[in-house]
Structure 1
Amino acid sequence: MSPPPFAPPPPPVPFPAGGLAVTAWNWERERGDMSTCSVSKGCFVFKPSPKKRRVSPKTADYFREGNNDSEDSGLRFATCQSLWKQIKSETEQIQEELNKQLFDNLVSFLRRSHSEFQEKTTEWTCRMKSREIPTAALVLGVNVTDHDLTFKSLSEVLQNNITPYVALLQAKDCPGIKNLMQKLMGQLMNCYIDVDSSDEEDCVQVSQNRIRCSMASLISWYENITKKTDSETPSKKRTSSRHLQSPPVVVIFKDMESFTTKVLQDFLVISSQHIRELPLILIFGIATSPMIIHSLLPHSVSSLLCIELFQSLSCKEHLSTIIDKLLLTTQFAFKLSEKVLQVLINIFLYHDFSVQNFIKGFQLCIVEHFCSQPLSVLCCRLVEAKKRVNSLSHSQCENVRRLPSFRRYVESQVSEKQIALLTADNFLKEVIQKLLEDLHVYHENYVPVLRCLHVFTSSLPKYPLGKQIRELHCACLENRVWETEEYESSLQLARMLNKSDLVTMLQKCVEIFASSSGKEFDKVVEKLKEFLTQFQKLEVAGACQERGESVSSQKELQKKTDLYHLQKTLLELKESRRSKKLTKFEMLRFEVVDFIDNLVRNYLVPADHKTLHEIMYFNTASALREHLNAAPRIALHTALNNPYCYLKNRALKSDGGTISNKAPDICIVYKLHLECGRLINLVDWLEAFSTVVMAVEGPNAAASDQVDDIIHARFIRAVSELELLGFIKPSKQKTDHVARLTWGGC
């Protein structure tokens, strides 16, 4: 008996762009696609062809938008890219150097723990009896946003030196023990694919099979993998020679505090029961304190862990290193003004303590500077900048003449030179080269003098100029630091330093100036060494004088021990205090402080006092705040009240107070709700919405019931979105009303 004929199903629902899956009847014979030919109801994903994907515009084009001086936009973009690559490479190298000690200690801990497991030493035997799991408590600090990068680097180090079996677990992926085991086994079974091409097929087959996620399955998989590795020929084992024999399984809990207590307890108890078969090592990522382990886990579970504590570098020290390597250097021509630097530091100190976010903010400053400043084409190395000056066009020369710092420079010149600067481009280019060279020399001299001043002020009581060099740097950029009260108090405290501290500071300053590239500091080094020699002579002379005075004082005391001579001695001491003369040490100390003061006044002039500083310094702090300092309330109000600000559609432009019928539905609903009181009648709200929308639909649309249903649905969706944003809520007083929550609401 033949089967009954099937009627052709309805045409398939078109798939949305982007490859989203939809459920539909799949009868694809008419379309010529036999891969999905079926009479059953199914779900298929059609990914868009790479050829059809819309190509985004070149990033260099953004440098031309909104800028009349687009002739050098390509060169500015290339300079910006080159600068950021250098800075990114430098920051990555700094990160590696700062984490090297921590990672070395962790690698040593893992090697030591695993060697005990392999050798079955007495210590490990005791551990197996107590079922202890080697655990590294890694305290990383509250800068949680930086932890991902740290764990990524740590995972790479462990995979390169210890074991290929490293799993990183997050609390959001492990709500239960079953999910944890699925994530753990899923990550571990993919670790072995890169050993050999012949083994790759086996591993893929293993991962494709339905395996029950349990500790027994994990142990069975590990035994099969290690046996296969041990049976390989020496030629095949070369790829894994960097790993330990029978490598351990390292499980990293990235955010240990966020894990559910029950999940952690179950996993640790199960793991401790199988520690003899599976060489498991745990790493806990901790943001707060190591005591959180004992707070989350009861003693019966925490006693199963053999914990060793590891402390990462403080995020503040990391930031100081970044500022020292990126800002307080002549390696990079790009600089930050005081206000911009203060914005980035405030976001770091008062929001997230994230060094990575600070670097991203620094990257944003670079892009904004090269995009908005046409003369940033000269923000490069001095040799290259001089070459580019010669090729400046007349419009670029006019841009130089419009700079505020250059105007001040022109006003300070004689009339003949003023005319030449404002009319002759060739003469202007020669002056620009000289001014850029002066700016470069200023930076070379600024940094060592700033470090020298920081040596003197960082150890003073109450730190008048700040403890960190970034605080001193901001103070010097803001205004003439020698005119501030904090600087005067610092000098007064410096004039009271003892000899040992003063000598130590001078020695540090000698090292700073000797290692600097400034050519003007040879005489400064000689003068500082001369001070050190004088202090050394005073110390020798003082020792001889003390020995002589001690002998003479003993003889005098033997002669004059009566009451008359004692009273006379006290009166002489009081008189000497009133008319006290400075000692040689005090005079020398005053001379040293005055010498440092002269250096500060000569070399720590604020950058905005230098001509052409706008070329290298980014000072638009408002743009930085707009991008980095989130103001959701203002942004929401602006987007809903004036959608043109974000959508840039001319049809959305409207006078203040009017409601455009071409605006998005949520904007219309939002503006209408602003005209209501504390409680809003939904029926009246819908009628007002329909009136605004029908103005664009036309009068004939009002007679159709279908249009009314569509408008009703649009209104419901817009009101739901407004409720989701938190502007309104259902009211218990009246069922057909909603209550306002913001701007005059309850």
Structure 2
Amino acid sequence: MTTSSVSKGCFVFKPSSKRKKRALDAEDYFTNGSEDYETSKERFQLCQALWENMRAETEKVQDELSKKMLDSVLEFVRKSSASFLSREEDWASRMRASEIPTAALVLGVNVPDHDMTFQSLSDRLQQTVTPFVVSVQAKECAALKHLLQKFLQRLMGLSVTVDEEEEEAGAELPQRRVHCSLSALCDWYRTVCQKPSGISPGKKRSSSAMEFPPRPPVILIFKDLEAFSSCVLQDFILICSQYTQQLPLLFIFGIATSPCTIQRTLPHSVTSLLCIELFQSLPCTQHLATVIDKLVLTPQQPFKPSGKVLQVLVGLFLYHDFSVRNFIKGLQLSLLEHFHSQPLSVLCRKKEEAVERAQKLSHQEVERIRQLPSFMRFVEKQEPEEQVQLLTSDDHVKEVCQKLLEDLRRYHKNFYPILRCLHVLTSSLPKYPLGKQMRELHVSCLERNVWETEEYESALQLLRMLAKDELVAALQKCVEILKPGKTKNMRDALQQLGTLTARFQQPDSSADPPAAEGSTEGKEDDSAPGQGLQKKTDLFHLQKTLLEMKESRRSKKKSPFELLRNETVEYIDSLVKMHLATPESQPLYEVYYYTSSGTLRRHLNATPRTSIQTALSHPYCYLQNEALKNEAGAISSSAPDLCIVYKLHLECGRLINLYDWLEAYSTVVTAAKGDDPDSGEKGKISEVRHARFIRAVSELEFLGFVKSTKQKTDHVARLTWGGC
């Protein structure tokens, strides 16, 4: 059951008569090859529980962010439905009889997130407004008949035929068929609405028990308007406009770029048949900031991505697809990799559970704790007697581990409030020295001590120049941030910042400090150095005069507000140095933080060209066939044809002679079978090899390595250089 070449065709192997093995689930893959099955199983269950918690929090955030827009769309649908129900002869008083109410949803370029928005919108519409909601995509509506067929089939729950011939051919089938036309839809809609038992929209919908209007609207959602054919949309809208008197149609357009897409796609004669109302969703960057705030910047979530891991996830978001959904998928992958690769992640849980689990650590787990770099640094700082206890007594390590886990939890409770306060104070400074977004400041604090950077010093200098109203407003926000704090340090910081804010509100006279000695002399001498500049002087006296002017400015008396402002900035600086140390400085931080950014980048940031070149240069990496092992640079005669042709083309220049290429390929294949090139069956074998060679070259051209050229008819042009 082996194949000698990928170019021979498609092979089908019948299943063996042996008993089939049980399909492996996620837990089996997680625990496969593990040293301790029970611990791995516990970590997998803990990982699942944490992910379910994060997923529920994410869904809650997404519902809150899209609630305002969805409520507006629902209100628009209700008004349009009410207008249709109230109209008999006066429908034209609000809009022309042929106009179709249309909601244009500008959702942004984060296309992977649109499915969640449309799913939530469809569910809410079916629960509160109408059971007749249908969604279509451009890839399934290449022609008008396909659009009509999908629309009617999903709405009516029946088999829909496109023409009369198909209807006659399928008349013998037991399933009921309906001709694909809007007149048939009108008849079906009239029949459904007149049923005494109420509206029964379809087999798959369970909303028949809901109370709907007598004639609920029929809503069609175009998920990706930009991808639809202009001709298909025009014809469909023109047809639908002829049935607005009989059918309460309503369109919802999903737009990724700009509302101008409607004008570019449809002519004025068609857009005039639509009564369009625009709805704008929140920017995806704001959505991302909220998700990071709820999932990362909180002590309630035990799992934490490191600075480099967070940079990888945010980089993929900013430079690839702007998809919050994919960002959450990357965060889920980080969580899974952390629990799979770090055995001590069994302690990555809430404080009470972590302390209880630390009491049950096995000897092997205690040894792993001793090998952690952060714990080794902690041991080095202890007294010699304590070091001996930590290195020899497992029970003592368990006790210390419980205390360290509590300290780490307390560190996070102090870290995030001070981080938010620093962001509030610096996010509005000119040129944003510490970043405009919270995630930028967070990454800076995770990677190094932020107070040791030049950007931080620049931010403090700018804070010392803030106006009174700006500084007081920022301090009031900091007070609001620190109010929920439960630790003693946060309560002390709240009290101190509240006192400083109150002092800013007092009159300047009450805050005047005692006059400094020599201040009068400084004022009197303030103008003296300036008078010397009017006289003729040499370079030495000029330098002396400028130095005196500089010293006089330094000795100038500061106002009470400036003194209080400097005191406030110094206190903020002390809070930052006390609570914003990097996580690496905390013992046992490896339990909570996932740091393998390279693994995450390999999984998420695909490099298709590198993967293809690796597969063609070293097929053993994928096929795992011992016969394919060879030295670097050598061409294995048992390799697939595509790999042989690829390696041979690496030895050529910009233009490749097809005949020489074929001869080289034939030589390699002949060596594989041990044939004599001068044998009598050479012609027959050459035909087979010729066909295989052409097949391999075609595949190589499909992959983008070569192309045909008009310079020489028997040559191809090489498109890439180098290889793996």
Under a length normalisation based on structure 2, what TM-score does the superposition of the two structures give? 0.84
User: 1:365·1:618 contact (CA, 8 Å) conserved in 2?
Assistant: yes
Q: Which of 117, 124, 139 is the aligned partner of 1:150?
A: 117
Task: Please show how residues 313-328 of structure 1 align to structure 2 within 5 Å.
Answer: 313-328=282-297
User: 2:650·2:722 contact (CA, 8 Å) conserved in 1?
Assistant: no
**Aligned-partner Cα distance in 1 for 2:668–2:562:** 84
Map Cα deviations across residues 243-267 of structure 1 (whole Å, 9 max, x no partner).
Answer: 3321111011111112122111111
Partner of 1:670: 646
Map Cα deviations across residues 624-662 of structure 1 (whole Å, 9 max, x no partner).
Answer: 111111222211111111123333444433221122234
Partner of 1:418: 387
**Aligned-partner Cα distance in 2 for 1:279–1:17:** 55
**Secondary structure of the structure 2 residue equivalent to 1:168:** strand
Partner of 1:617: 593
User: 2:192·2:199 contact (CA, 8 Å) conserved in 1?
Assistant: no
Asked if 1:638 corresponds to 2:607, the answer is no
**Aligned-partner Cα distance in 2 for 1:601–1:697:** 73
Partner of 1:453: 422
User: 2:102·2:253 contact (CA, 8 Å) conserved in 1?
Assistant: yes
Given the superposition, is the C-alpha separation of residues 227 and 733 from structure 1 closer, same or farther in structure 2, using an over 3 Å criterion?
same
Asked if 1:738 corresponds to 2:707, the answer is no
Q: Which of 700, 704, 713 is the aligned partner of 1:726?
A: 704
Letter paired with 2:631: D
Q: Which of 550, 572, 575 is the aligned partner of 1:599?
A: 575
Alpha-carbon distance, 1:698 to partner: 4.7
Letter paired with 1:715: F
Given the superposition, is the C-alpha separation of residues 301 and 539 from structure 1 closer, same or farther in structure 2, using an over 3 Å criterion?
farther
**Aligned-partner Cα distance in 2 for 1:117–1:230:** 23
Partner of 1:375: 344
Partner of 1:56: 23
Letter paired with 2:58: T
Partner of 1:478: 447
Partner of 1:75: 42
Q: Which of 605, 621, 626 is the aligned partner of 2:602?
A: 626
**Aligned-partner Cα distance in 2 for 1:535–1:253:** 56
**Aligned-partner Cα distance in 2 for 1:481–1:232:** 63
**Aligned-partner Cα distance in 2 for 1:100–1:169:** 23
Alpha-carbon distance, 1:501 to partner: 2.2
Asked if 1:224 corresponds to 2:191, the answer is yes
User: 1:640·1:667 contact (CA, 8 Å) conserved in 2?
Assistant: yes
Letter paired with 2:641: D
Map Cα deviations across residues 382-410 of structure 1 (whole Å, 9 max, x no partner).
Answer: 22222322333333222222222122112
Partner of 2:69: 102
Alpha-carbon distance, 1:53 to partner: 7.0
**Aligned-partner Cα distance in 1 for 2:260–2:440:** 34
Alpha-carbon distance, 1:333 to partner: 0.9
**Secondary structure of the structure 2 residue equivalent to 1:239:** coil
Partner of 2:99: 132
Number of equivalenced pairs: 658
Letter paired with 2:63: E
**Aligned-partner Cα distance in 1 for 2:232–2:84:** 26
Letter paired with 1:222: Y
Partner of 2:518: none
Partner of 1:587: 563
Partner of 1:41: none
User: 2:97·2:245 contact (CA, 8 Å) conserved in 1?
Assistant: no
Partner of 2:108: 141
Given the superposition, is the C-alpha separation of residues 238 and 293 from structure 1 closer, same or farther in structure 2, using an over 3 Å criterion?
closer
Task: Please show how residues 270-309 of structure 1 align to structure 2 within 5 Å.
Answer: 270-309=239-278
**Aligned-partner Cα distance in 2 for 1:123–1:287:** 36
User: 1:128·1:275 contact (CA, 8 Å) conserved in 2?
Assistant: no
Partner of 1:359: 328
User: 1:477·1:607 contact (CA, 8 Å) conserved in 2?
Assistant: yes
Map Cα deviations across residues 149-192 of structure 1 (whole Å, 9 max, x no partner).
Answer: 21111111111111111111212222222221111111111299
**Aligned-partner Cα distance in 2 for 1:350–1:404:** 34
Alpha-carbon distance, 1:444 to partner: 0.9
Partner of 1:347: 316
Partner of 2:3: none
Partner of 1:692: 668
User: 2:158·2:178 contact (CA, 8 Å) conserved in 1?
Assistant: no
**Aligned-partner Cα distance in 2 for 1:266–1:476:** 57
Unaligned runs of 5+ residues in structure 2 are 1-9, 160-170, 201-205, 512-550
**Aligned-partner Cα distance in 1 for 2:36–2:629:** 28
Q: Which of 503, 507, 512 is the aligned partner of 1:538?
A: 507
Alpha-carbon distance, 1:689 to partner: 3.2
Letter paired with 2:692: R
**Aligned-partner Cα distance in 2 for 1:206–1:164:** 28
User: 1:69·1:374 contact (CA, 8 Å) conserved in 2?
Assistant: no
**Secondary structure of the structure 2 residue equivalent to 1:285:** strand
Alpha-carbon distance, 1:330 to partner: 1.3
Q: Which of 620, 635, 651 is the aligned partner of 1:659?
A: 635
User: 1:116·1:123 contact (CA, 8 Å) conserved in 2?
Assistant: no
Q: Which of 220, 225, 242 is the aligned partner of 2:211?
A: 242
Given the superposition, is the C-alpha separation of residues 590 and 304 from structure 1 closer, same or farther in structure 2, using an over 3 Å criterion?
same
CA RMSD, Structure 1 to Structure 2 (Å): 3.2
Given the superposition, is the C-alpha separation of residues 261 and 206 from structure 1 closer, same or farther in structure 2, using an over 3 Å criterion?
farther
With 472-481 and 423-432 compared, the bigger mean Cα shift is at 423-432
User: 2:339·2:346 contact (CA, 8 Å) conserved in 1?
Assistant: yes
Under a length normalisation based on structure 1, what TM-score does the superposition of the two structures give? 0.82
Q: Which of 231, 241, 246 is the aligned partner of 1:262?
A: 231
Q: Which of 200, 203, 211 is the aligned partner of 2:178?
A: 211
**Secondary structure of the structure 2 residue equivalent to 1:636:** helix
Asked if 1:394 corresponds to 2:330, the answer is no
User: 2:449·2:581 contact (CA, 8 Å) conserved in 1?
Assistant: yes
Alpha-carbon distance, 1:284 to partner: 0.7
Q: Which of 448, 456, 462 is the aligned partner of 1:487?
A: 456
User: 2:158·2:176 contact (CA, 8 Å) conserved in 1?
Assistant: no
Letter paired with 2:474: M
Partner of 1:440: 409
User: 1:63·1:70 contact (CA, 8 Å) conserved in 2?
Assistant: no
Letter paired with 2:645: V
Partner of 2:515: none
Alpha-carbon distance, 1:440 to partner: 1.0
**Secondary structure of the structure 1 residue equivalent to 2:506:** helix
Asked if 1:175 corresponds to 2:142, the answer is yes
**Aligned-partner Cα distance in 2 for 1:708–1:291:** 60
Asked if 1:714 corresponds to 2:696, the answer is no
Map Cα deviations across residues 319-347 of structure 1 (whole Å, 9 max, x no partner).
Answer: 00000000011121110111110111111
Partner of 1:520: 489
**Aligned-partner Cα distance in 2 for 1:453–1:89:** 29
Map Cα deviations across residues 345-368 of structure 1 (whole Å, 9 max, x no partner).
Answer: 111111111000101111111111
The alignment-based identity, stated in percent, is 55
Given the superposition, is the C-alpha separation of residues 267 and 54 from structure 1 closer, same or farther in structure 2, using an over 3 Å criterion?
farther
Q: Which of 37, 55, 78 is the aligned partner of 1:111?
A: 78
Q: Which of 658, 671, 694 is the aligned partner of 1:682?
A: 658
Asked if 1:88 corresponds to 2:66, the answer is no
Alpha-carbon distance, 1:697 to partner: 3.8
With 669-678 and 132-141 compared, the bigger mean Cα shift is at 669-678
